[in-house]
Structure 1
Amino acid sequence: MDILLLIVGLALILGGANFLTDGSAALAQRFRVPEFIIGLTVVAVGTSTPELVVSLLSAVAGKSDVAIGNVVGSNLFNVFVILGICALIRPLPLTASNIRRDIPFGVIVSLLLLLTTSDRLLHLGTADRIGRIDGVVMLTLYAALLWYTIRATGREAQTAETAAKPRMKLWLAVVMIAGGLAGLIVGGEMFLRSATSIARHLGVSESVIAITLVAGGTSLPELASSIVSLIKGKAEMALGNVLGSNIANILLILGLSATIHPLSMGGITTTDILMVVLSSLLLFVTAFTFRSRKIDRAEGAIFLAIYIAYIWYLIR
């Protein structure tokens, strides 16, 4: 039964990703909005819903380490696994705005996470935690970041020419986006539950399940929508989805969770947070390797190797 639910969950995820990508692209075309912005907002926040639900419920239940660990694991999965797989399928080109603005934002946000979880190191408290004030600051920064990004790329939207092709009806695009998000969320939840059940039957420890299946399972929507976007020739949407999701995970999800209930680190270590910083820094470095301004297949393979090594480090 668990195997059947696993297959159905994957089918819902893939179908939802396809609907979400088509509906979002149609919405971008109709309102002359760059596809990257759609990926950064509608797609990124929508596909981050599983992480939001898991982290919020964990925070309310007092399981702070699960709330933080879910975000940390998801961000690492997004960069090392999703971008790694996408780059192996097809090298991901980086635009000038990606290099000047979007990727540096990701680095700054990851450093902010390190700063807010280093209370003992900075002599700001006796335990590392993300307090309510930290949460409010994160939410404020997220709102400001969205406003700045949309305004900065608004000029591009005004001068961009829309291809002369039939437009999808607005109501149909909205229905496709809503249906796609529903498929991603329901499918991701179904996959996560069945995969966790299978893992427990196989005798895998709870810690391994949390590190791999919870983070990886809640990131399946990002994986599916990014691959589908890439196959459809919309590399900017795939990259915007990952960058937007990582920023939303830290500023929106941890910010909202900490505002509701302060988050203590628990079993999450500084090494785990430093891995998030490393992932954002490596993504920044790839923009300047070989003067190609793209994430190529070799770099994608390196990303995957780093993730495998990190998981081995955790479970050894």
Structure 2
Amino acid sequence: MEYLIPTDWFKDLPQWGLLGLVAVSLYTLMNGADWLVEGASGLARRFGVPEIIVGATIVSLGTTAPECAVSVMAAWDGKSGLALGNAVGSIIADTGLIFGLGCLLTVLPVNRFLLSRQGWVQFGSAVLLAGLCYGSWFVRGSSAVLPFWVGGLFLALLAVYMVVSVGWSRQAGAMDAGALPVAVDVAAESGSKPKLPRLQQEDARSQDVAEQVTTGSEAQPDPDSDGPSRLLILLLLGAAIVVGSSHVLIESVTVLAVRLSIPQVVISATLVAFGTSLPELVVGMTAIRRGHPELLVGNVIGADVLNVLFVIGASAIASPLPIVDSGARIPEIFLIVHLPTMLTILILFRLFIFRAVRRDAFERWMGGPLVLLYVAYVVVQFVIGVGGQSPPIVS
């Protein structure tokens, strides 16, 4: 994002200007997230597409496209190694921090058909990336790179993923349409309401209360009355505001931290590492607040897939990506800490998917181990930095 909004511009601002930017960016960040979630959920209702698919495709593209553009421009500018560190760091933050916090805040619903398939794509793309990195390093040592053909492979897989996701969404829609009348008929015969999965009953009771309040007035607008063009514009505009506001916020706070003499290693291991995952975090928390938790699940899975296939794929097309390169700030610690952390978090997430599919929801306790792993990862970066080895820029 620094190629779109120059970072040097923030360094010349006075203290009051930076504080003003922090306040304004926080305000626009929250409003942009509201627009994005409203547009995404509206499109899902309008076209009968499951929210997890909207989150995994349109929303994820909206939050990762600027990062992809920055990575490609960095590759053209001779800083191609940044793409690899940013993509892996984003996967760790998205799955460990953002999904973990979402689990801790609420019971996340499960679409069995889509989650099992999207989850395997997420896991498989990360394993493919790790295998290519370790394989190239084993063969070529310190001169290891991800070459042009890897970028072409990833972009081809991205196209297949998008097409297959559309097919999956249609299958899931057909299955839901067939299953709902059966559930209603059974409930009618027994004289009761259709039964929700056990883990979602508590949340459903809370939502019923909220619905009674919001539907009590006849003046309440019908969200389905919005046209698809308006909803798409709302989604894209919200995504642009979220991404831009996140960059302004992080850069402003980073400059303030430097002026307050906070050590650079602390800034690198916290603010910089947290930076480009802020859009996904705000969108995820907003989705939960507005009653669309499946958007968070889809956004996390989709962002992980796109970080590999889209960000790294496009960057490798622009320029070979060094795996071990001190000039690009990717030392061997990338292979020793960052890739193993990514794989550990995704293996844990995969195990949680197995349990969630059987129990119809992600349970709250699942968020604890994921968040702890992310915190441990940040602490390790801090320790490495204190020891004199600068950690790679991750997000």
Q: Does 1:42 align with 2:58?
A: yes
SS in 1 for 2:134: coil
CA distance 1:55–1:203, change in 2 (3 Å): farther
Matched with 1:283 is 349
**Which of 270, 284, 297 pairs up with 1:212?**
270
* Conservation of the 8 A alpha-carbon contact between 1:32 and 1:158: no
1:54, CA displacement in angstroms?
3.2
Distance 1:123 1:20 in 2: 45
TM-score, normalised to structure 1, is 0.91
Of 350, 372, 376, which aligns to 1:305?
A: 372
Give me the whole-angstrom Cα distance separating, in 2, the residues matched to 1:244 and 1:260: 23
Seen in structure 2, the aligned counterparts of structure 1 residues 121 and 263 have a Cα distance that, compared at 3 Å, is closer
Whole-Å separation in 1 of the counterparts to 2:134 and 2:369: 29
Q: Letter of the aligned partner of 2:373 in structure 1?
A: I
- Whether 1:26 and 2:92 are equivalent positions in the alignment is no
- Matched residues in 1 for 2:242 and 2:67: separation? 12
Distance between the aligned counterparts of 1:91 and 1:4, measured in 2?
36
1:110-259 pair list within 5 angstroms? 110-123=126-139, 127-158=143-174, 166-204=224-262, 209-259=267-317
SS at match of 2:225: coil
Q: In the aligned structure 2, how far is the partner of 1:125 from the partner of 1:117? A: 11
SS at match of 1:303: helix
In 1, Cα distance between equivalents of 2:123 and 2:228: 36
Work out whether residues 196 and 213 of structure 1, in 8 Å CA contact, stay in contact via their aligned partners in 2.
yes
Asked if the contact 1:70–1:214 (Cα under 8 Å) also holds between the matched residues in 2, the reply is no
Check whether the contact 2:42–2:224 (CA below 8 A) recurs between aligned residues. Answer: no
Following superposition, the deviation at residue 33 of structure 1 comes to 1.9
Q: TM-score, normalised by structure 2?
A: 0.74
1:95 and 1:7 map into 2 onto residues whose CA distance is 38
Distance 1:293 1:128 in 2: 43
User: Which residue of 2 is the match for residue 58 of structure 1?
Assistant: 74
Query: Which segments of 5 or more consecutive residues in structure 1 lack a partner in the other structure?
Result: none
Pick the aligned partner of 1:10 from 19, 26, 30.
26
Structure-2 change in CA distance of 1:121 and 1:53 (3 Å): closer
Match among 75, 87, 107 for residue 71 of structure 1: 87
Q: CA separation in 2, counterparts of 1:21 and 1:236?
A: 11
Distance in 1 between the 2:79 and 2:258 partners? 20
Q: What's the CA shift for 1:126?
A: 5.3
The answer to whether 1:86 aligns with 2:102 is yes
For each residue in 1:34-73, what CA deviation from the matched residue of structure 2 results, as whole angstroms up to 9, or x when unmatched? 2222111110110113422332232222223322111111
Partner-residue secondary structure (3-state), 1:62: coil
Alignment: residue pair count? 315
Which letter does structure 1 place at the counterpart of 2:363? D
Hey, what's the Cα distance between the residues in 1 that align with 2:262 and 2:88? 21
Corresponding position of 1:264: 322
SS state at 1:118 partner: helix
Structure with the greater alpha carbon radius of gyration: 2
Q: Is the Cα–Cα contact under 8 Å of residues 286 and 295 in structure 1 kept in the other structure? A: yes
Q: CA deviation at 1:121?
A: 4.7
Q: How big is the alpha-carbon RMSD for the aligned residues of Structure 1 and Structure 2? A: 2.3
Task: Encode CA deviations 1:191-239: one digit per residue, 9 max, x unaligned.
Answer: 1221221232244555654453334221111111111111222121110
- The answer on 1:292 being equivalent to 2:359 is yes
Q: Is contact 2:114-2:168 (8 Å) kept?
A: no
